[in-house]
Structure 1
């Protein structure tokens, strides 16, 4: 991409990148905490995801970084492998595997996710964002931002966390959250239409700055927020301190069987999450851009190699940051790249200032993002499309809320496959209407479908078994390109046994070459 084209939408990309930076900052720290990894490893992964993956990726609006969906895998792997440095070897190898998958053109897997499931995933993510941010909105801090599973690492779940937050509600946090939400809604609905300046300066940026001012004023008067209610960014004042926060792989154990096993699991899950996010991000893109999936796998692989080499968590493309990027006006990949540089600069320069940001302010921003993903109108729209679209959509959402993202997607896929099988079962053949002068009375003309798979075997067997004796039958394969072996055997057996019932069978274009 030429530099002039990269910067041509900077007036849109720069404000969006700042918003994504504010969203990504606590997510990077929270996911590191959930993973049982050093906190700074989350920041490293965010920087690498923004700069390295952002530059290498073909996605215009996708944003990469540490993913909550990998937190449990990372936590268990660090424990089982016996240390953080050994785990970093698995991250590097996972990146190598992903690059290999990209060159093997495995990105086609993304095209098998039905629209109803992707829409359900987006809506489910929106609802999860809202539910997971409610405790922060109310001022409770005994959780970490970024967890998407129903069951949480701290022993709570989505619902008990909200219940607990209500019981320990923080009035200052609630007031700040309410003002922030009102400001965000007013900004989009009233201020942006009034003047272009309000489109250039995004509402979330103003909300975060307001939070910093309120937090600093409260702290100066001795009534500040608890430290757990604020962003906690490591404060680094020298290059020596930076290197101390970094870690490097234990190369001597790079190719141990346990490390290789973890690497394969990381590569598989990270690739699936990335491909899901790619499909969802492209669907949200106002310009309906199409991300080259094989290039994305290579970019993610490169990112994981770099992240693992310098002590970072594994990275994927993540829908929360990507949807925030799109929601606040990004036009190109510059936004994601700049957000990575902002993370890097913040670590080196303004960590102490950013540590005044209340989590309740960021929760307000994320709740607006969640609402934009899960608008009530989407439920009505999907319902109008009929059961084949609505049921996979709603099952995906419910399963995601009750379990986690990947389980929800699998559940939605199962329902989609069920409807596909049902459709295939019902459309394996048709009975051709014929005039009496074209065929003798009593002749049954059965025209087989273009593709006859083993899923069609039950309906074809039922139709053939129901043919009464003393009947003339035409089995017409004129339009058929392939026939599953199971169905071909069923047809042969019917033809062989037909004389016993005085059934005369004529086959058209049925030959062994068609058998799949």
Structure 2
């Protein structure tokens, strides 16, 4: 307990403040993009932080409304007819997710290849950088935190950047440059460890600088002042007593309708996949290399989504953007996720007027830094040095996510990764060596029917008059199709004057001699 509330507390508090600044505009933007009330995004962020943070066994993951589910939520609300009916489906989705966790379905998360997870993280880093360029230039036509290639305003990632250069707001540029300068200054090890300067994270100073610069614009250069869409926009909440009136409650009137269950199952399955991906990625970034029990995480997510649906919130998943910001800011325990949820609840209710003065351009600077840490050039070099079997799934995942969205890109990366897994198994399962006309055909491990074609090809290339040793001492399992290929080779060997010696095979092969 002393370690938890002593040594780690200051790190977790600093990280929670940074995550809060990242999460605040994302919660609002995702809600608007989903066709839901803005308050629903904040509710999901609060539940994701406090409730899921408390139940989760992850030390570094942060949950909240996910950008990857915006299209699904938008379509689901439209197909069901009302937001209340959608909330009913979300409650059921949470119960399904809870059940999946109890059934130990989280084990599926351990089968995502490392190269694909690394590609996902790098792609998200690049997307964060590219997506923040318009906001840094004061072109705020799309919400902060959008990760999809095709955007709400019918533009894509690159056309949005082009438009931003054409229609930029000059007032945003000094804000983002000053904020970036502050963030880079506070990233220096000597500043981070300073007993005074290291207490408050650079992200807070960057936000304060943005508010001050924008306030100065109103006095000395009004035409540069950032207003309306260029600022954070929080719903007007005057006190805690108003909160119940802003909650929306679920409607289960269509629970017998198949469409209702299609939405519920879709939310549960897609939300679970995104959570498992984010958890796996977060564990890989965790400097202490702690492992999150995946099935228990699904239980925590199920609890959170059920509660979120009951009080008017959006679907929740573990979110890699918030998680990476959390880790990069030095979080050590799950208290940082819980604290960020508390900050969302308390500050949104207590100082909305001040929060609504934050320019999106200075928040873009914070996300620039998060993106760079995920997509450093050294990461590409490191993955390339691992060899083509690791680099190609990595780079395909990066490109696919950049030009589609998270789940589609992961799917493409998994297909490419699976191809190289099969290719590697082909190469490793069968070893053929030759010395002075003597051939050794060695089965290195379990040999499935997938190795039938390469085995037939290798055996066909052995010339007449050779001496062949068939060694299967390391193969614990030999598929029936493989046994048939070997039996056929043994039975026809005399026609090519091939001498065969068998080592380590079952009686079925010896019987063929």
TM range (shorter): over 0.9
Q: How far apart, in 2, do the equivalents of 1:273 and 1:195 lie?
A: 38
Separation in 1, partners of 2:264, 2:149: 26
**Deviation of the 1:85 alpha carbon:** 0.9
Alpha-carbon distance in structure 1 between the residues aligned to 2:460 and 2:307: 63
Q: Deviations over 1:367-413 (max 9, x none)?
A: 01111111112122222222122222211111111111122222222
For 2:441, what is the secondary structure of its paired residue?
A: strand
**Is residue 90–residue 262 contact of structure 1 (8 Å, CA) maintained in 2?**
yes
- Residues 473 and 13 of structure 1: CA distance in aligned 2, closer, same or farther (over 3 Å): same
Following superposition, the deviation at residue 197 of structure 1 comes to 1.8
User: After the TM superposition, which of the residue ranges 364-373 and 420-429 deviates more from structure 2?
Assistant: 420-429
Assess if the C-alpha contact under 8 Å between 1:95 and 1:267 holds in 2. Answer: yes
Moved more, 443-452 or 133-142: 443-452
Q: Which of 453, 456, 459 is the equivalent residue of 2:454?
A: 459
2:151 matched residue in structure 1: 152
2-side partners of 1:390 and 1:87: how far apart? 41
- The aligned residue for residue 437 of structure 1 is none
Cα drift, residue 420 of structure 1: 1.9
Match for residue 250 of structure 1? 251
Task: Please tell me whether the aligned partners of residues 60 and 333 of structure 1 are also in contact (alpha carbons under 8 angstroms).
Answer: yes
Q: Secondary structure at the match of 1:271?
A: helix
Work out whether residues 136 and 172 of structure 2, in 8 Å CA contact, stay in contact via their aligned partners in 1: yes
Which residue number in structure 1 is paired with residue 431 of structure 2? Answer: 430
| Matched residue SS, 2:126 | helix
How many pairs align?
Answer: 507
Counterpart in the other structure of 2:70: 71
How far apart are the structure 1 equivalents of 2:387 and 2:3? 46
Mapping of 1:14-25 within 5 angstroms?
14-25=13-24
Aligned: 1:169 with 2:168: yes
Aligned partners of 1:464 and 1:494 also within 8 Å? yes
- SS at 1:304's partner residue? helix
Shift of residue 118, structure 1, vs aligned partner: 1.6
Corresponding residue of 1:483: 478
The 5 Å alignment of 1:233-248 reads 233-238=234-239, 241-248=242-249
Whole-angstrom CA distance in 2 between matches of 1:24 and 1:476: 59
Question: Residue 438 of structure 2 contacts residue 467 of structure 2 at CA under 8 Å; is this kept in 1?
Answer: yes
Please give the secondary structure, in 1, of the residue aligned with 2:358. Answer: coil
Distance 1:512 1:339, change over 3 A: farther
- 1:290 and 1:451 map into 2 onto residues whose CA distance is 29
Give the gaps of 5 or more residues in structure 2: none
Question: 2:206 — aligned with what?
Answer: 207
Matched residues in 1 for 2:162 and 2:29: separation? 21
Q: Which residue of 1 aligns with 2:231?
A: 230
Partners in 2 of 1:347 and 1:190 — Cα distance? 32
Distance 2:456 2:90 in 1: 52
1:194-216 per-residue CA deviation (whole Å, 9 max, x = no partner) reads 72222221100111122233334
Q: Of 442, 445, 448, which residue of structure 1 is paired with 2:443?
A: 448
Q: In the alignment, is the contact (CA less than 8 A) between 2:239 and 2:350 conserved in 1?
A: no
Cα contact 1:56–1:299 (8 A) shared by 2: yes
* Conserved? CA contact 1:392–1:415, under 8 Å: yes
State the distance in 1 between where 2:156 and 2:507 align.
58
State the 1:464 CA deviation: 2.2
- CA shift for structure 1 position 239: 5.2
Q: Verify: 1:182 aligned to 2:177, yes or no.
A: no
Native 8 Å contact 1:451 1:483 kept in 2: yes
User: How does the TM-score come out when normalised to structure 1?
Assistant: 0.92
Q: Name the CA distance, whole Å, in 2 between partners of 1:217 and 1:433.
A: 80
Q: Is the 8 A contact 2:234 2:352 kept in 1?
A: yes
Does the aligned pair in 2 maintain the 1:47–1:340 contact within 8 Å?
yes
Gapped regions of structure 1 (runs ≥ 5): 435-440
Q: Does the Cα contact within 8 Å between 1:23 and 1:321 map onto a contact in 2?
A: yes
User: What CA distance in whole angstroms lies between the structure 2 residues aligned with 1:512 and 1:312?
Assistant: 64
Residue 48 of structure 1, CA deviation: 0.5
Instruction: Using the TM superposition, give the Cα deviation of residue 193 of structure 1 relative to its aligned residue in structure 2, in angstroms.
Output: 5.6
Tell me by how many angstroms 1:67 deviates: 0.4
In structure 2, what is the equivalent of residue 264 of structure 1? 265
Q: Corresponding residue for 1:307?
A: 308
Corresponding position of 1:137: 136
- Normalised to the residue count of structure 2, the TM-score between the two structures is 0.93
Q: Kindly indicate whether the alpha-carbon contact (under 8 Å) linking 2:432 and 2:458 is maintained by their aligned counterparts in 1.
A: no
**C-alpha spacing 1:4/1:469, structure 2 compared with 1 (3 Å):** closer
CA distance in 2, matches of 1:210, 1:79: 41
Q: Take 1:79 and 1:416, find their aligned partners in 2: how far apart are those partners?
A: 36
1:130·1:370 contact (CA, 8 Å) conserved in 2?
A: yes
Moved more, 216-225 or 384-393: 216-225
User: Over aligned residues, Cα RMSD in angstroms?
Assistant: 2.3
> CA offset at residue 226 of structure 1?
2.1
Structure 1 runs of 4+ aligned residues shifted over 6 Å read none
